[in-house]
Amino acid sequence: MLEKILLPALWETLYMSLSSTLLAVIFGFIPAIALILTDKNGLAPNIKVYRVLDVIINTLRSFPFIILMIILFPVTKIIVGKSIGTTAAIVPLTIGAAPFVARLIESALKEVDIGVIEAAKSYGASNFQIIFKVMIVEALPGIISAITLTLITIIGFSAMAGAVGGGGLGDVAIKYGYYRFKTDIMLYTVLILIVLVQCFQSLGDYLYKITKK
């Protein structure tokens, strides 16, 4: 039972969550930097661009994940070729998490001491250099926390995606635990999820600690 059902489900969950997190971080970084740049106290203030991004991000964030997934079926089909399955679940997970990531990274970057940025300006660094050589370097611990939080949130959402045909541990829990009353399997999946979240959180905390000086 363990090897046949739970292990493949664990891999599916890991695959879904890790790929979605990676993609969400990539897609979240870009608007985060745009927000930081165009903020009224930013390096290139632009109220219009900031407002537009702000509204888009807030709108995307306010969609319940299940709804987002259903709305995105056609898009998913174009990208992955089908709208249901483990790989297909990555699309809504990424799109659902990217705005979340953008906000988290924006606030991590906002934490960077203004004095350090001023100093960089004072020796002639360009905006590009200030972002990549100063702000991101300084904000790294915060960014690591943001990624940890995203990954853990996505693991939770992936279980939800699994329940509607995405595979993974959520799928197993519903199929065996809920429909077939196999309480032991249900319990195992929950246990595995708890351990998984715990492991990633500890790893994240550890990385935070060694990068924070």
Partner 1 sequence: MIEIKNLDKYFGNDKVLNNISLKIDKGEIFAMVGHSGAGKSTLLRCINGLESYEIGTLKVFDKEVKNLSTTELKSFRKDVGMIFQHFSLMQRKNVFDNIALPMQVWGFSKDEIKVKVDELLKLIDLSHKSTAYPSELSGGQKQRVAIARALTLDPQILLSDEATSALDPNTTTSILDLLKKINKELGITIIIVTHEMDVVKAVAQKAILLEHGNIIGQGEIEDLFLQPDKKMKKFLGEKEVIPEDGENIKLYFPKEIAQYSIITHMARTLNIDFNIVWGKLEKINNHVIGSLVINITASDKESVTQYLDSKNVTWEIL
List contacts with partner 1 (CB under 8 A). 113, 115-116, 118-126, 129, 133-134, 137-138, 140-141, 211-213
Instruction: State which amino acid sits at residue 149.
Output: L
- Measured from the CB of residue 152, what is the shortest distance to partner 1 in angstroms? 24
3-state secondary structure at position 84 = coil
- Measured from the CB of residue 3, what is the shortest distance to partner 1 in angstroms? 44
Cα(139)–Cα(174) distance, rounded to whole angstroms?
Answer: 40
Q: Say if CB 160 and CB 144 are below 8 A apart.
A: no
Alpha-helix residue ranges (DSSP H) falling in the chain: 7-38, 47-62, 65-71, 73-80, 86-110, 114-122, 127-129, 136-161, 168-172, 183-211
Cα(107)–Cα(188) distance, rounded to whole angstroms?
Answer: 37
Structure tokens at 102: 């953008």
Among 76, 103, 77, which Cα is nearest to 20's? 76
Return the number of the residue (138 or 171) whose C-beta is nearest partner 1: 138
Return the number of the residue (74 or 124) whose C-beta is nearest partner 1: 124
